[in-house]
Amino acid sequence: MSYDLWYWSGIPGRGEIVRLFLEALGQPYRDLARDRGDEALVADRDSRRDVYAPPYLVVGDSAISQAANILLFLADRHGHGGEGEDRYRVHQLQLTIADVAAEAHDVHHPVGVGDYYEDQKAEALRAAAQFRSDRMPGFLDHFEAAIGDGGWLVGDDWTYADVSLFQLMEGLRYAFPRRMDAVGADHPKLGALVERVRQLPELADYLASDRRLPFNEDGIFRHYPELDAA
């Protein structure tokens, strides 16, 4: 079977970790807003009482939303989400990865998603300083310590948390290149994990294709040079 995924067509955003996992699993899917446009997404979303926001996956008559929940659902069906109690270790790492992504977003929108960046730039400068100095190292240290001897977060094979951590690290590197350069040497296992995911044979075609959307200034991770520093 093929899955139907709905997510905004112009940004990697929270949809990208679902795409990456579907690709790595080798599961066919349609990326419907990229085929039909964001207006079709809005119309579909508004017809579903269970969905607060994209991304969501249509399965039969129902929609499964919240990116971490979609990953859990896919892993329960197709694997790569850990076995037994490891399932919860994978999921808790995923939820912390999602927390970091949300914080990285709020750095450029500290006052609220409804205002433009330009209208909250002064606040963003303060938020960015704290994110770079306190929050970012704490999170990276946590992930570095969580990586096991096999080079993956949980167990001997990649899980959706590894794939998702790859995307988080790529996003942080896009948004905060100087800061990430400065702290990179402190997190060698994390750097190696990112390269290991990038080299997964399952992802090679996708990462080289134009289906893989670049980061941009409409997404979660935005490169505003004034918010970055070593």
Q: Give the neighbor-by-neighbor strand order of the sheet with 3-6.
A: 29-31, 3-6, 56-59, 62-65
Measured in Å, how far apart are the chain's first and last C-alpha atoms? 47
Report if residue 229 touches a second copy, rule: CB under 8 A: no
Nearest approach, Cβ of residue 159 and a second copy (Å): 14
Q: Figure out which of the listed residues 43, 62, 204, 230 binds a second copy, where binding follows CB under 8 A.
A: 62
Provide φ and ψ at 200, rounded to 5°: -55, 125
Regarding 110 and contact with a second copy (CB under 8 A), the answer is yes
Nearer to a second copy, 90 or 213 (CB): 90
Give, as ranges, the residues between 115 and 134 that touch a second copy (CB under 8 A): 115, 120, 123, 126-127, 130-131, 134
Residue 66, interface with a second copy (CB under 8 A)? Answer: yes
Q: Which of 9, 27, 69, 216 binds a second copy (CB under 8 A)?
A: 69
Strands annotated E in the chain: 3-6, 29-31, 56-59, 62-65
Nearer to a second copy, 91 or 213 (CB): 91
User: Which range binds a second copy by CB under 8 A, 25-33, 139-147, 179-187, 188-196?
Assistant: 139-147
Out of 28, 37, 79, 88, point to the residue binding a second copy (CB under 8 A): 88
Rounded to a whole number of angstroms, the minimum distance from the CB of residue 201 to a second copy is 29
| CA distance readout (Å), 219 to 23, 150, 162, 180 | 21, 33, 21, 19
Q: What is the signed CA dihedral for 229, 13, 137, 133, rounded to 10 degrees?
A: 40
Among 20, 64, 104, 161, binds a second copy (CB under 8 A): 64
Helix (H) or strand (E) holding 60: none
Q: Which is it for strands 56-59 and 3-6: parallel, antiparallel or unpaired?
A: antiparallel
Interhelix angle 86-108/67-78, nearest 10 degrees:
150
H or E stretch at 86: helix 86-108
| CA pair distance 70, 36, nearest whole angstrom | 22
Whole-number minimum distance, CB 185 to a second copy, in Å?
A: 20
Contact track, a second copy, 29-58, x by CB under 8 A: --------------------xx-x------
Residues making contact with a second copy (CB under 8 A): 49-50, 52, 59, 62, 64-66, 68-69, 72-73, 85, 88-89, 91-92, 95-96, 99, 102, 106, 110-115, 120, 123, 126-127, 130-131, 134-135, 139, 142, 145-146
